[in-house]
């Protein structure tokens, strides 16, 4: 048993001194009198620069992010979309691949529908504009969506996508991870169930090291369990 799963990075709280060199400041830090301090509660990661990886918090969209959004309202010319952030996002009717009338909007994508969007603009007052991803609007009509904290998304994806390809290959499901922490899973019901379970596990243990190995093991065990039941 590997009981020595150590946090590979130091846990810091707001105001902790991270570096004496102001040039090393990166995300999650601030500089005061030439020294770098932590701005948030998270894991300090010091390489050529020092940054703090958040452990919690709300998703703030950035231009280029791909997210899973849920339509919350359809107005005259915009779809209002909930993207799991403090701010509502808008997709204008003209972003739809072909020219449509206002009256058709609700038929294409109504309140409660989920879809994959790309953030095309975020202005300083946090007005967020969306467009369909890759020019084609994909409304998610099958599968399911689970939510994890956006801070855990890098762990769900893994280094260079290792975790996500592991899940896809072992489980025969299609998985799409939105930057906002919403994850779309599409496959056979049992596989989806297992994928949800594994993803929740990854979320819980996101701050520990050796996670991929443990998940591989868990997948093997669970897979056998599933087959025996059949």
Partner 1 sequence: MEFMKNGKRIDDRLPKELRPIKFEVGALQRADGSCYVEHGGNKIMAAVYGPRAVHPRHLQQANRAIIRYRYNMASFSVEERRRPGPDRRSIEISKVSREAIDPVIIKEFYPRSTIDIFVEILQADAGTRSAGINAASVALADAGVPMRGLISSCAVGKVDDTVVLDLVKEEDNYGQADMPIAMDVRTGEVTLLQMDGHLTLDEFEQALELGKIGCASIADMQREALIQKYRGEEDE
Query: Per rule CB under 8 A, is residue 135 in the interface with partner 1?
Result: no
User: Which listed residue (34, 86, 112, 135) binds partner 1 by CB under 8 A?
Assistant: 86
11/26 with CB nearer partner 1: 11
Distance CA 61, CA 208 (A): 26
Query: Per rule CB under 8 A, is residue 5 in the interface with partner 1?
Result: yes
Query: Per rule CB under 8 A, is residue 37 in the interface with partner 1?
Result: yes
Query: Per rule CB under 8 A, is residue 13 in the interface with partner 1?
Result: yes
Contact 59, 181 (CB under 8 A): yes
For residue 121, give Cα distances in angstroms to 9, 74, 106, 115.
Answer: 33, 20, 23, 18
Closest contact distance (angstroms) between CB of 95 and partner 1 is 23
Q: Find residue 31's DSSP bridge partners.
A: 36
User: Which listed residue (20, 98, 107, 124) binds partner 1 by CB under 8 A?
Assistant: 124
44/198 with CB nearer partner 1: 44
Query: Per rule CB under 8 A, is residue 158 in the interface with partner 1?
Result: no
Binding range to partner 1, per CB under 8 A, among 84-92, 100-108, 133-141, 162-170: 84-92
39/171 with CB nearer partner 1: 39
Distance CA 197, CA 219 (A): 10
User: Which listed residue (24, 49, 58, 223) binds partner 1 by CB under 8 A?
Assistant: 58
Report 93-122 residues binding partner 1 (CB under 8 A). Answer: none
Report 59-78 residues binding partner 1 (CB under 8 A). Answer: 60
CA geometry: angle 185, 187, 193, nearest 5 deg: 70
38/184 with CB nearer partner 1: 38
Residues that bind partner 1 (CB under 8 A): 5-7, 11, 13-16, 28, 30, 32, 37, 39-42, 54-58, 60, 86-88, 124-126, 151, 204, 207-208
């Amino acid at each position: 048993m590997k009981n020595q799963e150590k946090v590979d990075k130091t846990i810091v709280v707001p105001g902790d001194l991270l570096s004496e060199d102001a040039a090393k400041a990166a995300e999650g830090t601030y500089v005061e009198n030439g020294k770098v301090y932590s701005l948030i509660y998270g894991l300090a990661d010091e390489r050529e620069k020092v940054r703090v990886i958040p452990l919690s918090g709300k998703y703030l969209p950035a231009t280029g992010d791909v997210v899973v959004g849920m339509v919350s309202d359809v107005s005259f010319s915009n779809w209002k979309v909930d993207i799991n952030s403090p701010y509502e996002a808008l997709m204008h009717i003209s972003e739809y691949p072909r020219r449509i009338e206002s009256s058709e909007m609700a038929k294409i994508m109504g309140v409660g529908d989920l879809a994959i969007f790309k953030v095309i603009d975020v202005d300083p007052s946090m007005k967020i504009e969306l467009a369909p991803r890759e020019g084609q609007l994909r409304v998610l009509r099958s599968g399911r969506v689970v939510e994890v904290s956006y801070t855990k998304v890098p762990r769900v994806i893994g280094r260079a996508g290792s975790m996500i390809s592991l899940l896809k290959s072992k489980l025969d499901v299609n998985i799409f991870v939105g930057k906002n922490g919403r994850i779309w899973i599409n496959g056979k019901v049992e596989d989806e169930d297992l994928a949800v379970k594994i993803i929740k596990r990854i979320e819980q243990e996101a701050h520990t090291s050796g996670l991929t190995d443990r998940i591989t093991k868990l997948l093997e065990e669970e897979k056998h369990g599933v087959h025996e039941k059949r």
